[in-house]
């Protein structure tokens, strides 16, 4: 009877080892179409909540199994999916996307619907931005929306 338990235990350990052997470390770099690294780009295993963010140089490292699909995303870029094959190192090049249609900036916080705000809401449309004689976002906002007041400061605590 002891031999049977020993045999079943060894068989169980062997099966667990085979299961872990399929996991491998996937590394790579995420860049845009010009080769510039995308720091903070996200890498998720499709269908799970397991994921990582790329470092400052666009490098990432994640544990995944053969056949799983990695989903690469970054704000302003099209999502890309890559199925894990035999390679352990991937170079991912994300393409620019114009999917971002509108940004709402509020002083009260994020996630507030326009109709629930107790303040004025100004809309700045892309075609109007192209006509404005400004190069920076603060100049664009101030010149197009009269209710916006922008003060540039050093960002240090205690300064105005």
Domain that holds residue 118: 101-148
Alpha-carbon gap, residue 14 to 64, rounded angstroms: 20
Say if CB 51 and CB 82 are below 8 A apart. Answer: no
Alpha carbon distances (Å) from 88 to 9, 60, 68: 32, 12, 13
Total domains in the fold of the chain: 2
Residues in the chain: 160
Is 122 found in the same domain as 72?
no
Same domain, 86 and 106: no
Question: Using alpha carbons only, what angle is made at residue 7 by residues 5 and 9, rounded to the nearest 5 degrees?
Answer: 65
* CB 54, CB 39: distance < 8 Å: yes
End-of-domain residue from the set 77, 93, 109 = 93
What is the chain's pLDDT, residue by residue, as a tens digit (160 residues)? 677 766 667 666 766 555 554 788 999 999 999 999 999 999 999 988 899 999 999 999 999 988 899 999 998 888 999 999 888 899 999 998 865 555 666 555 455 555 555 566 666 677 766 676 666 666 666 666 666 666 666 666 666 5
- Looking at 68, 93, 118, which one is the last position of a domain? 93
At residue 62, the pLDDT reads 93
Of the residues 48, 66, 93, which one is the last residue of a structural domain?
93
pLDDT at residue 146, rounded to an integer: 64
Residue 61 lies in a domain: yes
Structural domain includes residue 119: yes
């Amino acid at each position: 009877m002891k031999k049977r338990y020993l045999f079943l235990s060894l068989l169980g350990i062997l099966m667990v080892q085979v299961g872990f052997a399929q996991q491998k470390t996937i590394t790579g770099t995420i860049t845009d179409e010009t080769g510039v690294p995308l720091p903070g780009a996200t890498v998720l295993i499709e269908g799970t909540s397991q994921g990582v963010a790329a470092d400052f140089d666009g490098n990432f490292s994640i544990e995944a199994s053969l056949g799983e699909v990695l989903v690469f995303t970054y704000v302003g870029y099209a999502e890309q999916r890559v199925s894990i094959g035999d390679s352990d190192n991937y170079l991912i090049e994300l393409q620019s996307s114009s999917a971002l249609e509108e940004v709402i900036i509020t002083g009260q916080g994020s996630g507030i619907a326009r109709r629930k705000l107790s303040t004025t809401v100004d809309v700045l449309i892309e075609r109007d931005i192209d006509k404005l004689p400004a190069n920076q976002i603060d100049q664009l906002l101030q010149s197009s929306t009269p209710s916006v007041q922008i003060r540039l400061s050093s960002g240090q605590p205690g300064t105005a």
